[in-house]
Each structure stands twice: as structure tokens, then as C-alpha cells.
């Protein structure tokens, strides 16, 4: 039996969370077209015959600005410690430079590192993929440079095989049926936050935190009752999130509820409230309250 931990790190928007979901075979991490969607370390467990891979998704590597951003940057940097393999995920369509920002954290990892050239479905002409492989192979002594597409699945099975071949012999870390070690309430809050990323613009999704206050099964009729609070930094953002006649909050609530119902397989009653917590992203206490805690 082989088992081990594998971190996915890289610039914001490279497709780390999409790749985590693809490799695990289930949507565990939220995804959006904007950078800095992921804020926490998110594990996704893939069980294969004879192997258990614990993938670790991370916030995008970026220069920290402010307390929340510092938390995110530290979370990403620490994710290379105590893992068996690190995958640096690069957006093949917009690779950026092989600079300190992405190569720096690799130096703190003493095991093998892969470079995953993601979004190859968007790279044209195809000969450019070969040039990218050459460029990245020169930037760091990567054990493998693997072109993938997390959205259409290209080469993801090959990536899984390569990962398994590097894992140490070890009994499984988690039960066979586990897919994550995040609590359900965290995942529910993330689903709501994803809909806010999809439906609102500019600073609003970045100024938003979601806290699930209640998650209980109710009978007569049977349903899952979820109460959550959406926090924003200013009154104007609260107005935008609620929308005219409550329209925006209804759209966010409906989109989240449909996904939650599909996941839990039971009717969901979702109650959302919006509160202002001034400048919460700069407030250490609020960050702790909203679950932004460094755990290692």
C-alpha cells in the first residue's frame, strides 16, 4: 500500500482547485474565473487500488497585502512542508515568469517536485506546449513536467499514475470512504462564497466572508436547514449583495441551494443574512472568527 500528501501550489487562477476536483473526482474546492478564489488549505482524498493520495489545494502564491492576504500567502507557503510531493501548477495559456514567487517555496521542500502545465486545451499552436515544457524544465530540476487540462481531463490519469509511483509505502491516512477532512460547514460556506464570486463583481467577492451558523436536519417535511451569515466590509457592499428587492441575495441563495441539494440528496432550506463587519480583512479577531487560522 502507498499513501502520501501532495500539494498543489501556483499562481492565482492557474487551475489548482479545478485540478484538485478533477484528480479527486468530486467537487471539493470552489472555482472561479477570478484570481484568489481559494483562501484556505483544502484537502481532497483520492483512493485507488493500492494507493491513497491526499491532495492539498492552496491559495495562489501572491505578494501579501493585508492580514487576510498574509494568511493566504502563509497557508500556500506552508503547504510545501511535510508533504511527499509538490506539484507546481502553471497556467499554460498565461504561464508568467518562473520567478522567485513560484520557485521560492519549492526550495523549502526536500522531496520531488512536478511542474503541471495546465490549461493545455487553450495553448495554440500545440508546438507551444513543447516550448513551455522546455522552458519550465530549465527553470528548476522538476522530476516531471506534465501537460494537463483540468477542465477536459487531458493527461490527468497519467498525472495520477506518476504521483502514485512516487508515494512512499504507507498505510492509508484516512478511511477508504473519506474524500476530505474539512468539516461540512466549511464546504457549505465555500459553496455560498463561490456563487458570490460568480454573481458579483469587482471588490465585492473579495470583501466577502461566509459563516455557517446552523446546519441541522429537520423533519416534517424532511429537509436540511442551513443558516448562514455573509459578512461584507461596507454598507454599499451589503446593498449590492442584497440587490434591488432582495433579488441578488435570492439568486445567490438559489444557486447555492441547488448545488447543496444535489450534494446532500435532500431538500435544503437555506437562510442567508448579510452583515457589515467593517474592514474585517484587516481585523485579526474577525479573521479568527471566520476560520482563517494557521493550523501548522
Ligand X SMILES: Nc1nc2c(ncn2[C@@H]2O[C@H](COP(=O)(O)OP(=O)(O)OP(=O)(O)O)[C@@H](O)[C@H]2O)c(=O)[nH]1
Q: Tell me which of 38, 148, 180, 208 binds Mg ion, using CB under 5 A.
A: 38
Answer for which of 7, 8, 9, 17 binds Mg ion (CB under 5 A) is 17
Cis peptide before 225 (omega within 30 of 0): no
Three-class secondary structure assignment of 121-167: HHCCCCHHHHHHHHHHHHHCCCCEEEECCCCCCCCHHHHHHHHHHHC
Taking the C-alpha atoms of residue 108 and residue 100, their distance in angstroms, rounded to an integer, is 12
Name the binder of 216 from ligand X, Mg ion, none, CB < 5-8 A by kind: none
With residues binned 3-state (H G I as helix, E B as strand, rest as coil), the percentages for the chain, rounded to 5, are 40, 25, 40
Minimum gap (Å) between residue 233 Cβ and ligand X: 19
Which of Mg ion, ligand X, none interacts with 145 (beta carbon under 5 to 8 A by kind)? none
Q: Which of 32, 267 has the CB closer to ligand X?
A: 32
Q: How far apart are CA 241 and CA 239, in angstroms?
A: 6
User: Nearer Cβ to ligand X, position 65 or 138?
Assistant: 65
Applying CB under 5 A, which part among 33-41, 187-195, 200-208, 221-229 lies near Mg ion?
33-41
Report the helix count and the strand count for the chain, using DSSP H and E.
9, 9
Among the residue ranges 9-17, 103-111, 235-243, 252-260, the one whose residues contact Mg ion (CB under 5 A): 9-17
Nearer to ligand X, 27 or 277 (CB): 27
The contact set with Mg ion (CB under 5 A) reads 16-17, 37-38
Amino acid at each position: 500500500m502507498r499513501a502520501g500528501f501532495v500539494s498543489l501550489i501556483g499562481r492565482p487562477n492557474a487551475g489548482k482547485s479545478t485540478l484538485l476536483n478533477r484528480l479527486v473526482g468530486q467537487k471539493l474546492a470552489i472555482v472561479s474565473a477570478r484570481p484568489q478564489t481559494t483562501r484556505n488549505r483544502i484537502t481532497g482524498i483520492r483512493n485507488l487500488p493500492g494507493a491513497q493520495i491526499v491532495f492539498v489545494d492552496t491559495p495562489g502564491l501572491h505578494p501579501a497585502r493585508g492580514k487576510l492576504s498574509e494568511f493566504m500567502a502563509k497557508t500556500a507557503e506552508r503547504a510545501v512542508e511535510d508533504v511527499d510531493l509538490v506539484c507546481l501548477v502553471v497556467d499554460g495559456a498565461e504561464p508568467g515568469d518562473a520567478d522567485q514567487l513560484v520557485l521560492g517555496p519549492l526550495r523549502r521542500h526536500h522531496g520531488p517536485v512536478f511542474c503541471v502545465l495546465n490549461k493545455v486545451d487553450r495553448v495554440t499552436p500545440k508546438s507551444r506546449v513543447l516550448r513551455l515544457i522546455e522552458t519550465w524544465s530549465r527553470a528548476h530540476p522538476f522530476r516531471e513536467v506534465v501537460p494537463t487540462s483540468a477542465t477536459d481531463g487531458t493527461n490527468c490519469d497519467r498525472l495520477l499514475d506518476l504521483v502514485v509511483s512516487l508515494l512512499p509505502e504507507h498505510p492509508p491516512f484516512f478511511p477508504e470512504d473519506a474524500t476530505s477532512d474539512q468539516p461540512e460547514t466549511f464546504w457549505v460556506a465555500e459553496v455560498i462564497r463561490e456563487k458570490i464570486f460568480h454573481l458579483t463583481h469587482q471588490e465585492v467577492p473579495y470583501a466577502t466572508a461566509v459563516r455557517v451558523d446552523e446546519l441541522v436536519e429537520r423533519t416534517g417535511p424532511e429537509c436540511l436547514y442551513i443558516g448562514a451569515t455573509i459578512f461584507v466590509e461596507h454598507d454599499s457592499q451589503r446593498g449590492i449583495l442584497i440587490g434591488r428587492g432582495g433579488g441578488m441575495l435570492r439568486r445567490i441563495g438559489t444557486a447555492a441551494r441547488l448545488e447543496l441539494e444535489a450534494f446532500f440528496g435532500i431538500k435544503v432550506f437555506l437562510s442567508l443574512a448579510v452583515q457589515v463587519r467593517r474592514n474585517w480583512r484587516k481585523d485579526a479577531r474577525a479573521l479568527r472568527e471566520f476560520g482563517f487560522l494557521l493550523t501548522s
